[in-house]
Amino acid sequence: MPVLHHGEGEAEQRILNGLRRVVGLSLVVLGIEAIGAILSHSLALTVDAVHDVPDVLAFGISWAALAGTRAGSTSEFTFGRHRLEVFAGLLNGLLVLGTGAAFGYEAVQALARSGSFAGPVDPTWLLAAALPTLALRIANVRTLGRWTGRVRDLNLRSVLVHLASDIAITGALLFAGVTLVVDARYGWSDSAAALFIAGVLVYESVPLLRSGWEVLTERSPRGLSVDSIARAARAVPGVTGVHDVHVWAVCDSLVCLTAHVGVGEMTMKEAMAVVRQLRDTMERDFGIVHATFEIESP
């Protein structure tokens, strides 16, 4: 039987249900924007519609990764399948980066030509697609934003970064549409919005890729100091020394710690009490719930 640890349970099931709703709403957004892009001839809307494709794929990958972690630990996967969340976050970042780079180049080309890429932009169809898209994306953020306790996972954080940036992107679409309604001569606004959208996509990919890389290379998690951890351990009564401290993350939500701890002359029962206090200190002060200490007596 697989054993569930480190947060799997009812909360994960709610998040899985939320991700399924996000995928469904994102498919609706994709359909609306695809039709709007064809009818409006808008480069900005085209960029966003194409960006919806990796978005839907990314959300689906995130759902599959989180579902995989629910299998818990087994004799083959002793930490469970938490690394699936990291790979999902990395893939999300790569998809967003590629989309932003490709369409950023096209937007620069369109601005250089001082014209749109498929004829004059029809702002009516642009706004007709952007307004319901904004409402659906806000609904997506509200769906997943309720479970903030689990958002520290790289995988789910990547989804929320997607959703938050999508709202900013929709704002750029509305800007282009309103500008063109005011004066059709401002055709550059559509290309400028497309360039902004591409920039947002590239920008949002950087922290996702960096976080995934740091987990896979077993870098000490940002915000955690090995020296501070060692000092806190030495402050526990009965501890005479600490060395060989290693801190790494299996995924963003599962930080692990191992250390060798020297103690004075004491019984096994007293040594285990020291270990319990060390674990309590690590969880309370640093959020490390998976700490292993090797006791060394004189």
Pair 33, 52: CB distance under 8 Å: yes
The position carrying tokens 């206090």 is 277
pLDDT of residue 127: 93
Rounded average pLDDT per 10-residue block, the chain, 298 residues: 41 66 84 92 88 74 65 66 75 84 87 70 92 88 61 55 80 92 85 90 84 83 87 92 89 82 90 93 86 87
Element (H, E) at 291: strand 290-296
List domains and CATH numbers for the chain.
Answer: 10-216 (1.20.1510.10), 226-296 (3.30.70.1350)
Question: Residue 215: what pLDDT?
Answer: 82
The residues that bridge with 249 in the sheet, in sequence order, are 255
The pLDDT of residue 243 is 92
233: which 2 tokens?
Answer: 């351990």
First vs last Cα of the chain: how many Å apart? 41
Closest CA to 258 of 291, 233, 222, 215: 291
Starting from the edge strand earliest in sequence, which strands make up the sheet with 254-263, in order? 239-251, 254-263, 290-296
pLDDT at 225: 87
- The conformation of residue 5, written as its DSSP 8-state character, comes to -
Contact 52, 43 (CB under 8 A): no
Label each residue of 52-105 as H, E or C.
HHHHHHHHHHHHHHHHHHCCCECCCCCCCCCHHHHHHHHHHHHHHHHHHHHHHH
pLDDT at 61: 67
Cα separation, 80 vs 71, whole angstroms: 7
Closest CA to 155 of 61, 234, 241, 74: 61
Q: Specify the pLDDT at position 52.
A: 81
User: What is the per-residue pLDDT for 7?
Assistant: 40
User: Which tokens sit at 86?
Assistant: 């990291």
Q: What is the pTM assigned to this prediction?
A: 0.67
Q: What angle do CA 124, 138, 145 make, to 5 degrees?
A: 165
CB atoms under 10 Å from CB of 182, counted, come to 11
Distance CA 38, CA 32 (A): 10
Instruction: List the structure tokens of 152.
Output: 């520290």
Separation between Cα atoms, residue 205 and residue 71, nearest integer Å: 29
pLDDT value for 115: 61
